[in-house]
Structure 1
């Protein structure tokens, strides 16, 4: 991945953390932990949304945050310093499709939007199971779908544009990320876990509740456009580019009808 792509992904991860902070905190609070965990591993931690939410909720815990991106880990360390929790975070750069680092014996492993990226996710689930302390918990959090931002009848000149755009992205991602959208419950059971909880959280954040919604929509749609430009008709691309021109009169940043609409699915699995 190029440095520019890493910057783009980091921006989206940071905006995701800002806009969906309440939802992430509610997932952490819901986890059926038997005792407040002391040792936590965040697999595929990105820029730290999960790590920081876990540290806030479990004030005695230390987190080992693992990601393949040096840039993401650097951003996480900066955020940890800003939050005053740098001494409770240990970052590890590793490609989890290759040799795994020593995870110790964590009480809780958190994997948000990361398991579906693994080349062999079933092997990943077994590795987590074997690393966890007896009775430890594995939390798998997955976005059910890309967030929607625009009303269904928008934009005015090309209604339904976002849905067509998303469909093209889905087709392309199905080839590269075949495990995206999987039901992880049976696969966790097959890896030796007992499912202790499962829930789906509906996310709906209006533009009026967060001024980051517009920036989140702009960054997310720009990234999707870069991935699917060849699959869209010219009229749709033209309309999309008007929305993505941050300084233009039709910029998505000028709209007051935006919202972040998506779902997050969560599985809490216990090692016996």
Structure 2
């Protein structure tokens, strides 16, 4: 529900992925470009999400009949959940009608869709045996209230799985021959400051210690474990991963360039050079390494 974070979000909603269109009229927003960006990102995470889904199968058993992906974007991850739970109705939930249409098209009609503004329209979603939400809750002002709302949709014994944070993306060596070593760590620091600003500006923003298992417990659920899944695409990267990194760095440049020191801003611009061999599109040392952490909890049976 990918603000200034690199994960997708829709206004008042969210999702591992960064588009600031909250103040852009829907008619003017480039939904196709956003969908393509979100799809590339989700496809890079596909093996990790598949592994997480199989873990969730072990937690939920064979009785799952309805799955919600809250903050689904264009439905890549919802499609993976549908593969893991073939007997279930899988519903992609998002604020954006355009992204939900993409989800329907991608899945050939396998996915159901539900358009909803969250958290105001939790009541539109219906009950579920499994609720998945990846990088969406942090785009809602009151995260605890959002978790409690989702928990209230679970059928007896149902599981809520929340993928939040994990480890930041790494894509180049610590010293890659441009500027001062440690560039990505400094970019992370600027990004974290922007993320905190985004959180503070959300409607109903509430400060919360982000202990997700404890928050799930306060939502009335029993925590059932946390696991982290590796996203690992070693060098040399294939073209889709490079194109995604280029787009991601372009977004970070738009958001953070004014907050970086001149040398780091120049390094970021150099990585975006589409023709230079030292740009991210061509570097032989570029890789894609991250981790997705999933927190789970169960409703009383």
CA contact (8 A) 1:11 1:219 kept: no
TM-score normalised according to structure 1 size: 0.90
SS in 2 for 1:267: strand
User: Hey, what's the Cα distance between the residues in 2 that align with 1:5 and 1:187?
Assistant: 35
**90-99 or 112-121: bigger deviation:** 90-99
SS in 2 for 1:242: helix
Partner of 1:29: 54
Partner of 2:286: 258
TM-score normalised according to structure 2 size: 0.82
Partner of 2:104: 77
SS in 2 for 1:246: coil
User: Hey, what's the Cα distance between the residues in 1 that align with 2:29 and 2:259?
Assistant: 22
Which sections of structure 2, spanning at least 5 residues, go unmatched?
Answer: 1-20, 201-206
| Shift in alpha-carbon separation, 1:177–1:51, aligned structure 2, 3 A | same
Partner of 1:57: 84
| Shift in alpha-carbon separation, 1:74–1:207, aligned structure 2, 3 A | farther
Partner of 1:159: 181
**Distance apart, 1:101 and its partner CA:** 4.3
| Shift in alpha-carbon separation, 1:17–1:68, aligned structure 2, 3 A | same
Partner of 1:13: 38
1:172-205 CA deviation, whole Å, 9 max, x = no partner? Answer: 1112136799221000001110111211223322
| Shift in alpha-carbon separation, 1:68–1:255, aligned structure 2, 3 A | same
User: Hey, what's the Cα distance between the residues in 1 that align with 2:30 and 2:85?
Assistant: 33
| Shift in alpha-carbon separation, 1:79–1:223, aligned structure 2, 3 A | same
User: Hey, what's the Cα distance between the residues in 2 that align with 1:181 and 1:226?
Assistant: 29
**Distance apart, 1:13 and its partner CA:** 1.7
User: Hey, what's the Cα distance between the residues in 1 that align with 2:273 and 2:114?
Assistant: 37
Partner of 2:72: 45
1:173 and 2:195 correspond: yes
Residue in structure 1 matching 2:134, options 102, 107, 112: 112
| Shift in alpha-carbon separation, 1:211–1:237, aligned structure 2, 3 A | same
CA contact (8 A) 2:169 2:289 kept: yes
1:204 and 2:229 correspond: no
**Distance apart, 1:74 and its partner CA:** 2.1
CA contact (8 A) 1:145 1:181 kept: no
Name whichever structure is richer in helix by fraction.
Answer: 1
Which sections of structure 1, spanning at least 5 residues, go unmatched?
Answer: none
User: Hey, what's the Cα distance between the residues in 2 that align with 1:246 and 1:200?
Assistant: 34
| Shift in alpha-carbon separation, 1:240–1:5, aligned structure 2, 3 A | farther
Q: CA RMSD in A?
A: 2.1
Residue in structure 1 matching 2:220, options 188, 192, 207: 192
CA contact (8 A) 1:40 1:61 kept: yes
Residue in structure 2 matching 1:233, options 236, 244, 261: 261
Q: How does 1:63-102 map to 2 (within 5 A)?
A: 63-81=90-108, 86=109, 88-102=110-124
CA contact (8 A) 2:103 2:111 kept: no
